[in-house]
Amino acid sequence: MPASVCEVLGIKPGDQLELSVTEDGLLVRPKKTLALKALEEIQRAFANSGISEKELQEEGRKVRERLSKVGRIA
């Protein structure tokens, strides 16, 4: 791929790429773009859930406590 194209797309040597075949040809994009889009979707779902960050953290703490007790021998 030409260096000028890589520069515009923010692709650096060693970056992993996602390749998709579309009606218009081949779509190439850095995998980090996919990770950012996934994070945006998670943030949007969280915002729409009505659950506060504090509630989510508290529930996570409870689950970790339960899981740690399961691993202990009484």
**Does position 30 have pLDDT exceeding 70, yes or no?**
yes
State residue 28's pLDDT score: 84
Please provide the DSSP assignment of the chain as one string.
--HHHHHHHT--TT--EEEEEETTEEEEEEHHHHHHHHHHHHHHHHHHHT--HHHHHHHHHHHHHHHHHHTS--
Query: Contact at 8 Å (CB) between 42 and 32?
Result: no
pLDDT in tens, 32-69: 777 778 888 888 898 898 888 899 899 999 999 888 88
For residue 74, pLDDT over 80 is answered with no
pLDDT higher than 90, residue 21: yes
pLDDT at 73: 56
